[in-house]
A and B are shown apart, each in its own frame.
Chain A
Amino acid sequence: MAHHHTEPQITVLPPDTAKIKKLWMTALILLVITVLEFIVAFTIPHEYKDLRVWIFITMTIVKAAYIVGEFMHLRYEAKFLLWSILVPIIFIVWMLVAFIYEGVAMADGKL
């Protein structure tokens, strides 16, 4: 072929079926947890507010772990990278605790 620039030689590898299956499994888990959240939302009465909230928070954290760990591949990255991303989250946790504490105090008329 008399091209002036040669197109790069590309070797296409076959699909990694084990990996693809795992990705679909992750998606299935995420969907099942979401369906469970709906079931909880409409079966556990609103009177059990604390129980509902804690179930929702737990399920949300599980979903987040699957998205970050599997989809974003963080579970398989170098450990130093993993902790560089996870450790700063502690500031978010502290902000959450402090702000909700403050909000409840405001509702009680203490502030």
Chain B
Amino acid sequence: MASTSATATASWDGGSSPMNASYGKLMMWFFLLSDAFTFSALLITYGLVRSSHAAYEGAVNAFSFSQTYWPVPEKVFEAVPFLHGMELPLVFVGIMTFILIMSSVTMVLAVEAGHRMDRVAVEKWMLWTILGGLTFLGCQAWEWSHFIHGTEAGGVLRDGTTFFGANLALNQYGPPDFAAFFFFITGFHGFHVFSGVCLNFLVYYNTVMGVYDRRGHYEMVEKVGLYWHFVDLVWVFVFTFFYLV
């Protein structure tokens, strides 16, 4: 694990590690690369469908929900818990972004503590990371609930009826595809956060039980850390392409 100058002269004939990383770490990297392709497919298809729909042309202040054009995201995501009726565009997503970035720092601090065999510090930072992950999931649950139940005014569908909230077939915010992509992209990301929290808990449990002390290294913290940072990385792209653009 410790980087050595041997890398430069390593050969592919066997007996050395040309990539200077363990099997598990390499496989985590290649898994994450394949996962990046999956997320890209979702986000790029979102881009395709969005750019194939008419865009809203009027002034942003005069925006209203319609089935005929793609909604302006900041007009859809402007609700914050406990502040009912206030228009706070993107504030809640901003808070969620902050939470995820912070949990990424605590994760990397756990990795640093693992390198020093500092069990107590690993436990502390893993707990903070798990807390951050759970908070993010809670925020997402609230956001989904709000999105599904809709605003008080609702929106008018193509047949003239008023509809509140969203499902996979209909939604008050715009073309049906808009809600479908919201559910699939944030849902797939949320599922990654959920599995990340499970893995983080597993690592925390093993740390407390002294598994890594007996093993002599904390590389599992590093591998699960890679996964957790990837989840943060994906959120950076979701935040930009789903909420900002």
Contact = CB atoms under 8 A, between A and B. Distances in A.
Contacts of B148: none
Contacts of B117: 10-13
List the 9 closest pairs (A to B, CB-CB), nearest first. A103-B51, A106-B52, A13-B116, A103-B48, A99-B48, A78-B20, A81-B19, A27-B105, A60-B240
Interface in A15-55: 15-16, 19-20, 23-24, 26-27, 30-31, 34, 37-38, 41-42, 45-46, 52-53
Given A27-B102, A89-B36, A103 B245 contact: no
Interface string B186-217: 00000000000000000000000010011010
Contact of A78 (B7, B44, B115): B7
B97 A34 contact: yes
Interface of A: 7-8, 10-16, 19-20, 23-24, 26-27, 30-31, 34, 37-38, 41-42, 45-46, 52-53, 56-57, 59-60, 63-64, 67-68, 70-72, 76-78, 80-81, 84-85, 88-89, 91-92, 95-96, 99-100, 102-104, 106-107
B92 to A, nearest CB: 12
B233 A67 contact: yes
B41 interface: yes
Interface string B104-119: 1101110011011111
Contacts of B30: 84
